[in-house]
Structure 1
Amino acid sequence: VRVGRQQVPLASFFTFVLCGNFTTMGFEIKNSRRSDIVKMWGELANLLAKCPVIAKHSQFVLVPGPRDLTLGSADVLPRGRLPQALCSEMLKVVANCHLASNPARVCVCGQMLVIFREDLLLKMRRNCVIAPCEDETEDYNEHLVKTVVDGGHLFPLPMIEVTKALAALHLPVHVLMHAPAPRHAHCKQGSIYWKHDHALWLHPAPEVLVLADTRAQFSLTYGETVAFNPSNFTLDATWMVYRPGTREVEASSLDL
């Protein structure tokens, strides 16, 4: 058994989770710009091809962001995966490349990791009616994690704006239950495919909750859940490493 483990490359134990937005173009792009996105993914694939052991043995999970071009409406949760046509070069080079939905769930060493790419803290603070009690903590990140985990839902925001917009268009509200909101009924918070609302549930609470946000990094433990935000890599070249064996989160960065 020991010899067999020694023959397995160390890279086979690595899982790389990349969260969008992957471009600054946004989802409302012209067909002429889609070739640019394909080219960008090709450049990343060429970079990974220079590390053949990682490209062959490691797991790569691509989670789309709020403004990525996906299979489905970008304004409705859960978001569909990235189109294979855009990431074709990545799929050729990386042996284990998974185009995930948003949110995504990954099971590692018997632990459930829930990954949600959304600027959730900003939206929660924008819709906050009663200021959170600061007697226990003044950390808004802890208030956010507590709200999400205790509520058992990744997106505890109201759908009032969408409902009003549908009413203004003289459309029945139940349309929202089965289809994405019309373009004129755009909601700043977002809307939900109610048939797939279970994808946003947190019952039971996961071992790891990744709230990928553009805000500053944080990591904390709430109950039995380890929660953290890797922040925006493009701003200061930072990311997070989770070690399932010890359930530790390590902040990492590059000196550019």
Structure 2
Amino acid sequence: MENTERIRKVISSLFKLNGLQIRSDATSYLVGILAPLPGLEPEQWAERIVDRILKVKLKTPLVDKAIVETAVKECGKGTDEGQEELITLISSFDVPRYSYNADKKKFLPVTEPNVLMAGATHKALIYRNRYSILLQRTYHHELFSPIIRGGEWDDARKKFQLRPIEFLAGSNTKVVDVVVLGMISQLKEGKYFIEDNTGSMELDLSETKFHTGLYTENCFVLAEGMYDEGIFHIKAMGLPPPETALVTKSYHGSVNFFGGNPNVISKERLRLIDKQNEGAMFVILSDVHLDKISVLEKLRILLHGYSEAPPVLFIIMGNFLSEPHGVQSAVALKDCFKTLADIIAEFPPLVLNSKFIIVPGPTDPGFVNILPRPPFADCITLYFREKIPNSVFASNPFRIRYCTKNIVIFREDILTKLCRNSIYFPSSGDIPKEFVSTVVGQAHLCPLPLHICPVYWSFDHALSLYPLPDLVIIGDKADPFTETNTGCIFTNPGSFLKTDYSFKVYTPFENKVEDCQLPSD
């Protein structure tokens, strides 16, 4: 309350010093925008806004709310040439690649160019890079990081100590209460092993207690148990500890894992713009079968409903065909996009003010279903792009930076595949929670064997979730859900048709996801 009154006095004083009078409603509007800003930022922004108003030829010294709103928008947009838009769209094929250097304890950029058909060494690097990320992240956790006192390591308060597999393999006696971080694999049929970069060891899972998560082959785990005669008897198995984005940035703040250019617009300006556009929203739909007349009719109703208050983004994910069309699939999809473009064109406010992002599904025609998947071919989307200029046909997965929010979009039936291939099915019944815990623990969108979910070896980093973004949109045919874990929201809109035309709406300013559904009539 005191801060609000202080800002109100600052605003009033600034306007008087410049020979202006500000109306009370305009003052309240400015206070509402500036009050949430930290430190001296409110005063700095108030001065900029007043300077902007002074550049306008006013008929009277009385400043109303409309003039202030215009000045705030202009300050938010800025006037620097070459400035990027507030929305940054990042293809999976443009995500920067880094490698962790254990000696320097930091990530270094990989200068080698990425190619789709990479050499065999890149396959091994997939798991080495994932392991290095999770290992250093585990050491950040208080249960695994030793305390330094007087220049010496003090292990008295360290609850756990990670051991490499070579430590166990070199032991001639029984070793109890040992913890290993490694990858589950099936090197021999019917027998599970744990691997790290020092070796592998057979597991005995007969008496294992599994903590929260879905455990599959090629999943990295923290395994606690006893080693005896070449067998690691697992007492408890869990996922690597998660880490918030703030903690990650405190260790690697200068590294741009997400991609794009995060420093084009200052964070202060972005926060102000975010506050000024607090009504901005993203509409999220998945499994939109454009070859179904009922779906097209519902889309027309949805677009009509939003035409009076256009959202910032429409995120529309495949599959866009409900069934295979054989050799005519590409032609059928081209016709479907043409129909969708014509429907969107019926609502000019949406064409002018909203951006449409189209993400391919796993069975959509085009490229083979290997991740990350390129956008649809130009020959399929040409009419749509000409009719709806403010549209983007995206890769899968895809990244968006909006103001201060980082968002990842992924269309794959990944939850279904994780459940089907899990070596232990959880008894909790809360599958979305188990799934989200798994993805966060693995810091990866697709912690499955490559024969289950193929990935281009040199682009595996594009599926990484390190550091955690603000929002992850998972397009899965499973039931809709929204879960929050370690400061990151995971949401699945579900199949648009099978869920009776339900979808999700995300408001960046509130960082909140809402469930929405069209009437069935």
TM exceeds 0.5?
Answer: yes
Q: Distance in 2 between matches of 1:126 and 1:39?
A: 35
Q: Distance in 1 between matches of 2:385 and 2:394?
A: 13
Quick check: 1:237–1:253 contact (8 Å CA) kept in 2?
yes
Q: Secondary structure at the match of 1:239?
A: strand
Q: Distance in 1 between matches of 2:455 and 2:443?
A: 15
Q: Distance in 1 between matches of 2:309 and 2:358?
A: 18
Instruction: Tell me the amino acid that sits aligned with residue 22 of structure 1.
Output: F
Q: 1:44 matched to which residue of 2? A: 340
Partner of residue 18 from structure 1, selected from 299, 316, 327: 316
Which blocks of at least 5 consecutive residues in structure 1 are unaligned? Answer: 163-188
Q: Distance in 1 between matches of 2:438 and 2:358?
A: 26
Q: Secondary structure at the match of 1:233?
A: coil
Percent identity between the two aligned chains: 32
Q: Secondary structure at the match of 1:95?
A: coil
Q: Secondary structure at the match of 2:319?
A: coil
Partner of residue 435 from structure 2, selected from 122, 125, 144: 144
Q: Distance in 1 between matches of 2:390 and 2:467?
A: 28
Quick check: 1:103–1:116 contact (8 Å CA) kept in 2?
yes
CA RMSD of aligned residues (A): 2.2
Q: 1:252 matched to which residue of 2? A: 516
Q: Secondary structure at the match of 1:24?
A: coil
Q: Deviations over 1:145-199 (max 9, x none)?
A: 110011011111113xx4xxxxxxxxxxxxxxxxxxxxxxxxxx22110111111
Instruction: Tell me the amino acid that sits aligned with residue 492 of structure 2.
Output: N
Correspondence 1:83 to 2:377: yes
Q: Deviations over 1:35-81 (max 9, x none)?
A: 322211111111011111111221111110000123x312x111111
Which blocks of at least 5 consecutive residues in structure 2 are unaligned? Answer: 1-67, 75-276, 278-306
Q: 2:464 matched to which residue of 1? A: 201
Q: Distance in 1 between matches of 2:420 and 2:454?
A: 16
Instruction: Tell me the amino acid that sits aligned with residue 368 of structure 2.
Output: S
Q: 2:489 matched to which residue of 1? A: 226
Larger radius of gyration: 2
Q: Secondary structure at the match of 2:432?
A: helix
Q: Deviations over 1:94-152 (max 9, x none)?
A: 12211111111111222111111111111111111023363xxx311011011001101
Q: Secondary structure at the match of 2:497?
A: helix
Q: Distance in 2 between matches of 1:34 and 1:151?
A: 36
Give 1:34 deviation, angstroms. 2.9
Give 1:10 deviation, angstroms. 7.9
Quick check: 1:11–1:58 contact (8 Å CA) kept in 2?
no
Correspondence 1:64 to 2:398: no
Q: Distance in 1 between matches of 2:465 and 2:412?
A: 16
Instruction: Tell me the amino acid that sits aligned with residue 29 of structure 1.
Output: G
Correspondence 1:213 to 2:490: no
Instruction: Tell me the amino acid that sits aligned with residue 238 of structure 1.
Output: S
Q: Relative to 1, partners in 2 of residues 1:47 and 1:13: Cα closer, same or farther, differing over 3 Å? A: closer
Quick check: 2:329–2:365 contact (8 Å CA) kept in 1?
no
Q: Within 5 Å, give how 1:53-132 maps onto structure 2.
A: 53-70=349-366, 72-74=367-369, 76-132=370-426
Q: 39-48 or 85-94, which moves further after superposition?
A: 85-94
Q: Within 5 Å, give how 1:151-166 maps onto structure 2.
A: 151-159=442-450, 162=451
Q: Secondary structure at the match of 2:380?
A: coil
Correspondence 1:29 to 2:347: no
Quick check: 1:12–1:59 contact (8 Å CA) kept in 2?
no
Q: Distance in 1 between matches of 2:440 and 2:448?
A: 14
Aligned length: 220
Q: Secondary structure at the match of 2:445?
A: coil
Instruction: Tell me the amino acid that sits aligned with residue 153 of structure 1.
Output: H
Q: Distance in 1 between matches of 2:406 and 2:461?
A: 16
Q: 1:242 matched to which residue of 2? A: 506
Quick check: 2:330–2:365 contact (8 Å CA) kept in 1?
no
Q: Distance in 2 between matches of 1:192 and 1:2?
A: 48
Runs of 4+ in structure 1 over 6 Å off: none
Instruction: Tell me the amino acid that sits aligned with residue 143 of structure 1.
Output: E
Give 1:83 deviation, angstroms. 1.2
Q: Distance in 2 between matches of 1:10 and 1:100?
A: 26
Q: TM-score under structure 2 normalisation?
A: 0.40
